[in-house]
Structure 1
Amino acid sequence: MEKLTIGIVGFGVIGQRWTACFAHAGHDVRVYDPTERRADTFHEVLPALLTDLDALKGPSSAPGAVHLFPTLAETLDGVDFVQENGPEDLQLKRRLLAEIEGHVGDAVIIASSSSALLVSDMQAECRLPGRIVLGHPFNPAHLMPLVEIVGGKATDAQAITRARAVYEAIGKKPVTLNREVTGHIALRLMGAMWREAIALVRDGVASVEDVDRAFMYGPGPKWTLQGSFISNSLNADGIEDFLRKYGPTYQAIWDTLLDARLDSETVRAISASTNAAVGDRGQEELKAAREAGLVGVLRTVAERGAL
């Protein structure tokens, strides 16, 4: 893909990481954020994020230039693609997307990083709603390859195709949803598993440490490399044989899955068990370990992953 000029609207945690991704891939990035400390944050966090990407992908041969601008109009002057990262507030998103439209050409795709809102709702006040798409990253967004793409009721199919090409060109692994659902794909999968995990801890079946350990050293590594369907198909003579052989077992599990409500009692039980698992390790220590570990894991997935 040719070199692009990317507009980043919102320089919070997600916007910072998108900026690093696009710049590391060689695209020029123009950044806008209304907060007072935007310049300090800009200079404090970006070098470390680019260093992470160097560790994961190797040093960029020709990184793009990154500039911070004081107004939205200046930021979006001449951009080819916009990644919006505003707060998860529907009314704000509607106003912001409509405002962005006033500063970009009609052919420019506008992608939102929203994790929970529906594109059909966000694009309601746009002059050209067909170019509005969801481009939802996975945290930490500069390292994790996943981007979930979906359009709203008024989105043009071509806009989704073009957005996917942009993300693929910077080394992401996009997935496209054929219709909108709350939470998209990954959060729904996580939500289903985590509901059962919480219920198992709440009901005293196992501790947080052992529930997490069961996943980390059980399906986690295999599913990381091959996903659930391909991985399970290797436990039999293909997926159809697996479903015939082990389908009754899974059906029995599904029929007895537990429910979880985050009432005060459940929150207390989960918090106590999680704090016990964490011990005296601090948040920053655990985050640093996670992101350093991800580099090795993602390198292996890039070399050996099935999809």
Structure 2
Amino acid sequence: MKKTIGIVGFGVIGQRWAAAFCHAGHDVRVYDRAIDQEAAFRELLPSLLADLDAVRPPTGDLGEIRLFSSLAEAMTGVDFVQENGPETLEIKRKLLPEIESYVGDHVVIASSSSALLVSEMQPDCRLPGRIVLGHPFNPAHLMPLVEIVGGRLTDPASVQVARQLYEDIGKKPVVMNREITGHLALRLMGAMWREAIALVRDGVASVEDVDRAFMYGPGPKWTLQGSFISNQLNATGMEDFLRKYGPTYQAIWDTLLDATLDEPTISAVTQSTAAAVSGRSQERLKAEREAGLVSVLRGVAEHGAL
């Protein structure tokens, strides 16, 4: 069913959310304090939609995206709000009640926050039960993952409304049973990256070889099947895998390294990363990433286990 989506905050994340909702056929109404970015967005939009076409061809007409200079006008008639304001608790606690004053009581408001907890954002809201986290992964128009969690005052029904909407636009939402700093994916990444940084810092391997080890080792398999399903295929099932290889993993866990981002560590990782980049610009690397993601995500859509 076609909906009207409100977007509050129109930086990199907000723009890509708008493209994703529009591509799925929903109308989008946008507010941002710096609304003079419309011309640049209109120039960017065709490439964002082309990326989405390549991964998930539209099943109907595109929605309309309109930008407004007034929050009240932008929120008129919306069915769902995706908030993308600055990552500052003080701002969120002022912004969410302001959004509430312009939308119907049935409207769920999802925050794209990558680090803040919903429970800390919602106390000043008139209807805190409708506030949820809807955290996308970057680049937000392409990456399927959206992490959803409610705060202490969130109505579980609001979480389900958000989940259904994200699924309807082709995302792969995950619902967390409770809040935790960093949500889900960033914690998993953080655990792996702490070890990666420590390995580079201690001279075990270069940035290039650490990244190659993941890209050409577990990376492709984990992309298709995740860590649990992928690992159980290395035995007759998960219990057999854990009994056979558990001692090896326990030995690794017992000797995992720690990483502190002190100056020597920052220097070592920065120098090794520069060597791995080998003069390629940020723009070139981003373009290569986007082009590669389209192919990868098409493969995952066809063969992914979950």
Normalised to the residue count of structure 2, the TM-score between the two structures is 0.99
In structure 1, what is the equivalent of residue 13 of structure 2?
Answer: 14
SS in 2 for 1:104: coil
Alignment map for 1:201-280 (pairs within 5 Å): 201-280=200-279
- The count of residues paired between Structure 1 and Structure 2 equals 306
* In 2: Cα distance, 1:56 partner to 1:279 partner: 30
The one-letter amino acid paired with 2:201 is R
Q: Deviations over 1:267-296 (max 9, x none)?
A: 110000000000121111110010100011
In structure 2, what is the equivalent of residue 282 of structure 1?
Answer: 281
Shift of 1:60: 5.5
SS in 1 for 2:122: helix
In structure 2, what is the equivalent of residue 46 of structure 1?
Answer: 45
Shift of 1:206: 0.1
* In 2: Cα distance, 1:253 partner to 1:186 partner: 21
In structure 2, what is the equivalent of residue 93 of structure 1?
Answer: 92
In the TM superposition, structure 1's runs of 4+ consecutive aligned residues that sit over 4 Å from their partners are none
Q: CA RMSD in A?
A: 0.8
In structure 2, what is the equivalent of residue 103 of structure 1?
Answer: 102
Distance 1:164 1:36, change over 3 A: closer
5+ long unaligned stretches in structure 1: none
* In 1: Cα distance, 2:35 partner to 2:153 partner: 35
Shift of 1:146: 0.2
Shift of 1:58: 2.3
* In 2: Cα distance, 1:59 partner to 1:231 partner: 31
Q: Is the 8 A contact 2:84 2:113 kept in 1?
A: yes
Alignment map for 1:79-90 (pairs within 5 Å): 79-90=78-89
Alignment map for 1:145-224 (pairs within 5 Å): 145-224=144-223
* In 2: Cα distance, 1:281 partner to 1:70 partner: 38
The one-letter amino acid paired with 2:269 is I
5+ long unaligned stretches in structure 2: none
* In 1: Cα distance, 2:123 partner to 2:219 partner: 40
* In 2: Cα distance, 1:149 partner to 1:213 partner: 31
The one-letter amino acid paired with 1:240 is E
SS in 1 for 2:30: strand
Q: Is the 8 A contact 1:27 1:63 kept in 2?
A: yes
Q: Deviations over 1:238-266 (max 9, x none)?
A: 00000000001000000000000111111
* In 1: Cα distance, 2:300 partner to 2:58 partner: 19
SS in 2 for 1:182: coil
Q: Is the 8 A contact 1:54 1:60 kept in 2?
A: no
Shift of 1:124: 1.3
The one-letter amino acid paired with 2:214 is F
* In 2: Cα distance, 1:45 partner to 1:98 partner: 31
* In 2: Cα distance, 1:36 partner to 1:171 partner: 28
